[in-house]
Structure 1
Amino acid sequence: MEKAASFLSSLLGGGGGDAVPAGDPAATVASILIYPIKSCRGVSVPQAPVTSFGFKWDRQWLVVNAKGRACTQRVEPKMALVEVELPPEAFDEDWQPTPDSCLVIRAPGMDPLKVPLAVERATLDDVSLWEWSGSAYDEGTEAAEWFSAYFGKPTRLVRFKEETEIRPTNPDYAQGYKITFTDCFPFLIASQGSLDALNELLKEPVTINRFRPNILVDGCHPYSEDLWKTLKINKLTFEGVKLCDRCKVPTVDPERGTFGTEPTETMLTFRSGEVIRPSHKNKQKVYFGQNLVCKESVSAKGKGRIIKVGDPVYVLQTYPSSNEAPA
């Protein structure tokens, strides 16, 4: 892996903790990706408002089994084939759903399912996702029958109950922030440069949807985002709180809904803890992307909290190296 070796200096090298001048953007927002249903396909949008939970509509819905446990691509790779669609205006800052507004869901061999956005629902108790358990809105019989038919076993669709439920982020990395049905943190950032560098090493290139970031940036060196401690996008302050260690989801082929071995097999040669975090444990974890929180999300609601494609990204503080970044 000669090419992999050539990346090591940038992977382990110094951001030195120096701030980038405010007038010199480190990158540009190339794509914004929202995943309304956890583990299903995302939607690319031109802009997204920032809420107290993350981007508006991100991981608002969850597919659960008969026991109320979350279903994800880790066990159900066919979830990668489930497409979702929201009204385009849903990503305007002040938009509110009308009685006719729907989340539209499609999958191979299935008729489209329309889930109303502004209908009162019953509550389903004992819903669980990782360490969290609580109540959620049940999206009803039609949705349950649709997902049960698709997966071939009893399944329901639920929506996060923002009014009463709280899922805090891991306080060891970020205190005072909350999430809906995301895994751990409200935002995930990755760069096109990182993806391009990875694809140079793969026999078959992969797309960014393997890694499911919310913010894809372009114009920076590969894996620069490892070192981003404080950044500004459209006057919003984001903190890089934890390198994203990857589970088996990146090995799911998003066009076939099947497991493989790549890109994890190749990433182990140059993106493992052993390589980029040699003084830490978890040597066999692989890392791609940086988890973020947004400082403004915890304060009272304000106007203008929105990220747009094309926004410059200003890096104000960096970690000295990947080895010293939290993970």
Structure 2
Amino acid sequence: MSKVHVVTEIYIYPIKSLAGISLQSAKAEEMGFVNDRRWMLIDAENQMLTQREHRIMSQFYPQILDGKINITFQNQKHEFSIDESLDDTLEVNVWDDKSKVVEVNQETSKWFSLHLGFECKLVKILNNGARKHESSRLKETFNVSLADGYPYLLIGTESLDFLNDKLDEKITIKRFRPNLVVSTENPHEEDDFKTFSIGEVQFKNIKPCGRCVMVNNDPENGRLKKEPLKTLSKYRNVDNSVLFGTNIVSLNSGIIAVGDEVVF
């Protein structure tokens, strides 16, 4: 890792499992980038909803403007304020973690229910500390958002290029829903990153990220395909987990931007 590594892309996903937003800069916090996966859809039994079961969720596109989140689905639009919520606190599960959340408003929940075709609610994580995630590997507990596990996912550019060389139909980095894309020299060298800094922020690598069938959902059209999981499983299967990208946490808050160098 002698050459300069720089940030090439930054993404946030305000609502879990919906489409992401590409940014030129973002503020990193303990829970993840500001407004990253602070919201989530839950069903009538208060169970989280994801693209794993509802691929159409990839076709809802958020944007953030003037303190509001605007959602576009097909030719329909809806917006709500980043700060708004109802009073009643709910406790929901994000995998094995309990999280305290609040419903945004009934109108927004009805809008998503209409377009998804079943009853659901849009909820927001209550605050920092409302969900804690324990790393069995590090024996540490982290305050996290509504992401599957850790606040940040980092992927090296060579990892995608190496995979695409093996695929008949090339894919984009959007399949893997990273927060940070970093220029690299070798495929999957990000697995071995330890502690490093980007801009004002110091990060720590937790572990490579195990991938599920969700990466086979084409974000352009919501169609399920056989790749890239089929090919990845041939050379990235470790202990029955297909690895791509790595989970990291931030050790402080601060601004990072596209073009920032990764300092080891």
User: Structure 2 length as normaliser, TM-score?
Assistant: 0.94
Which 4+ runs in 1 deviate beyond 6 A? none
Q: Which residue of 2 aligns with 1:178?
A: 143
* C-alpha distance in structure 1 between counterparts of 2:189 and 2:149, whole Å: 22
Q: Does 1:103 align with 2:81?
A: no
Q: Which residue of 2 aligns with 1:60?
A: 38
1:41-95 deviations in whole A, cap 9, x for unaligned?
11010111111211111101001000111001111111111100012xxxxxxxx
1:269-306 deviations in whole A, cap 9, x for unaligned?
11111xxxxxxxx2x32110011011225xxxxxxx11
Q: Which residue of 1 aligns with 2:23?
A: 45
Q: Which amino acid aligns with 2:252?
A: E
Q: Which residue of 2 aligns with 1:36?
A: 14
Q: Return closer, same or farther for 1:54/1:134 CA change in 2, 3 Å cut-off.
A: closer
**Number of positions where the alignment pairs a residue of Structure 1 with one of Structure 2:** 264
**Candidates 195, 210, 235, aligned match of 2:175:** 210
* C-alpha distance in structure 1 between counterparts of 2:4 and 2:142, whole Å: 26
Deviation for aligned residue 1:185: 0.8
* C-alpha distance in structure 1 between counterparts of 2:202 and 2:83, whole Å: 32
Identity across matched positions, percent:
31
Which stretches in structure 1 are left out of the alignment for 5+ residues? 1-19, 88-99, 274-281, 298-304, 316-327
Are the counterparts in 2 of residues 49 and 306 from structure 1 also a CA contact under 8 Å? Answer: yes
Are the counterparts in 2 of residues 103 and 116 from structure 1 also a CA contact under 8 Å? Answer: yes
Q: Which residue of 1 aligns with 2:187?
A: 222
* C-alpha distance in structure 2 between counterparts of 1:154 and 1:212, whole Å: 26
After superposition, residues 243-258 of structure 1 pair within 5 angstroms as 243-258=208-223
After superposition, residues 315-326 of structure 1 pair within 5 angstroms as 315=264
After superposition, residues 1-327 of structure 1 pair within 5 angstroms as 26-87=4-65, 101-109=67-75, 111-162=76-127, 165-173=130-138, 175-273=140-238, 282=239, 284-297=240-253, 305-315=254-264
Mean CA deviation greater in 135-144 or 113-122: 113-122
**Which structure has the greater CA radius of gyration?**
1
Deviation for aligned residue 1:34: 0.4
Are the counterparts in 2 of residues 231 and 313 from structure 1 also a CA contact under 8 Å? Answer: yes
Structure 1 vs Structure 2 CA RMSD: 1.8
SS at match of 1:310: coil
* C-alpha distance in structure 1 between counterparts of 2:150 and 2:99, whole Å: 18
Are the counterparts in 1 of residues 132 and 143 from structure 2 also a CA contact under 8 Å? Answer: yes
SS at match of 1:173: coil
Are the counterparts in 2 of residues 173 and 242 from structure 1 also a CA contact under 8 Å? Answer: no
Q: Which amino acid aligns with 1:149?
A: L
Q: Which amino acid aligns with 1:82?
A: F
* C-alpha distance in structure 2 between counterparts of 1:33 and 1:174, whole Å: 28
Q: Which amino acid aligns with 2:214?
A: V
Are the counterparts in 1 of residues 130 and 143 from structure 2 also a CA contact under 8 Å? Answer: no
Q: Return closer, same or farther for 1:116/1:235 CA change in 2, 3 Å cut-off.
A: closer
User: Structure 1 length as normaliser, TM-score?
Assistant: 0.76
Q: Which amino acid aligns with 2:258?
A: V
* C-alpha distance in structure 2 between counterparts of 1:101 and 1:50, whole Å: 18
